[in-house]
Structure 1
Amino acid sequence: MEYRCYLSLGANLGERGETLREALRRIAALPVTLLEAVSPFYETAPWGKLDQPSFLNAAATVLTSLAPRDFLHACQSIERDLGRVRHEHWGARTIDIDLLSIEGFTSDDEELRLPHPYMTERAFVLVPLADIAPEHFVKGRSVRDWCREVSREGVVPAAELSDPWPLRLLACIDADRGLGKNGHLLASVPEDMARFRQLTMGQVVIMGRGTMESLPGRQPLRGRVNIVLSRTLPAEDAQGFLLCRSLAELWTLLGKLALAHPGRIFWCIGGAHVYEELLPYVREAYITELTASYAADCHLPPLGSVICTGREVHPGFAFCSYCYPMRMAVIGKGV
């Protein structure tokens, strides 16, 4: 039997956004479980106990064949693994995953009360949930209707990515998965360059120091937002680029870009180290696969459990696209 579950997630300690995204990634990785939708993140004022930092909150819908209590226990295990310690009721926490309701299922015991007894009173629950499930009925009314009954004061959109897998990967590899040699591309393929330009124009490209230094004149790619992820690049050498020293800085910057320009695509364009570092956050990969081998000195890491969604064969190469099925959650856009 499958259950559609509605969740509320919150965090107000540590790297809040990445903790929420990691919780979502772990929920998606549970057995016989599909992460269906994730709302945008909201910055929210504390509720219940006011003398604590503000929260990031989100909602999610999940389709699972786990029994309700097994799913609850799995979520509690994720909380513990991510550092949640239940010292104080309504107190500060690294991560909170609340099971709000399950379609066609109710419960009223000490361990599991569904629907959640407070969900229709809390704007930080209802506003994100209305983004992804406005017509879900709770206590005889839709989430949209309940949302109209609460004050949205203190609940504002956050400049923080909500997508657990916000990146797309773009690469050209040879028959041995090679990426380059001596800091240069392995081959000049005009069709690949045209495809690269078509996919990335007007979007955001994320690269490492080596890829930046290989660009003609070390100049940013025109018509795109250029981000360099590097812990060692001197700031004075990054003129025209946005420089991030860590993943935390990258997620913060991408969150601001996403809020300012919704719909922009974030492309990871190399090199090998950046591909390896960012691969856990990629939902789709677009690969130009060359037929020949070129004795490369750097290689694309294995993509893992992907499925091929397209293959266009040309003389000497093929345009291929891949996706991670478990990473294809729909991100809510608001109502």
Structure 2
Amino acid sequence: MQFIDQAEVFVAGGNGGDGIVAFRREKYVPAGGPSGGNGGRGGSVVFKAVENLQTLLDFRYAHRFQAEHGERGGPSNRTGASGEDLLVEVPCGTVVYDAETDEVVGDLTEPEQTLCVAKGGKGGLGNQHFLSNRNRAPEYALPGLPGEERHLRLELKLLAEVGIIGLPNAGKSTLISVLSAARPKIADYPFTTLVPNLGVVRRPTGDGTVFADIPGLIEGAHLGTGLGHDFLRHVERTRLLLHLVDINSEDPVADYQTIQQELVAYGRGLAGRPQILVLSKTDVLGHDEELVSEVAQQLAEVSGCRIFSISAVSQTGLSGLMDHVWQQLEALKQSEAEAPAMPSGFVTPMPL
């Protein structure tokens, strides 16, 4: 399945039905009067968030969504049938923008959440509405109003509580494959992962927490270099970041600083997102604990964070890391519950 996280569509509400001109014709009723019915309203286009979709792939092949038109009114004051609303399913986490103004129309984050993106037009009035003392036989009616038309841009931002970031080949995919049932492509070269991978990690309580492996972050990612510009948006919704640094790199401290600079340059509160700093691939160094401690000390001095050393391949250090992850998530949830409501996108930095 292809991972598509951006799409542009055209949506149009149905036109309202026309009102009609009609008169009551009955035996023994010489002055029946006007009886033209109103037109039915047009259907609306409604987006609905569902859990069984993970990409916007369907919108690569379907770009136009038109709701049903309302029917014209009938005689004997009969109102025309209203057009059916068009329900379009989108993945949870879809942000809808107006393609022309770049204004956010809505953000669908919860399952079954709906958003009306194009309203149907009102039905026209029949001539019965224009009866008056001065005009006992109106011979005109109003046409239905056209439905709303819009060009929209859809962006999918993955809903994950924990985002795994780092330079290419830092061990992100290996870690998520060990922690969850996700099976991303893993190989010993950079940019093995070309799309974000989601995995559900079970807590000791049995509850599941979604982790996201964010690929392709390199220097200049916020400007579109590599793959990072395409996937940095998926970090925006995460509560906590696991920042992996390859201990076998020529300069692990410089690797850490590179990612931090990209988060700052991208903005949207990512630099202030709580992070857990992890030295990965310690199994390659064998039992050289002195070198691991030296690199960890250097990173701690630069970042001011506690450093965890792990090997996803040999599964060493993972239990301590995950215990800390669960503690931090609980602390973040508690602080969010106690804090007053903040504007959307506001992130409170939390020291680790």
Q: TM-score, normalised by structure 2?
A: 0.25
Flag the structure with higher helix content.
Answer: 1
Q: TM-score, normalised by structure 1?
A: 0.26
Greater Rg, structure 1 or structure 2? 2
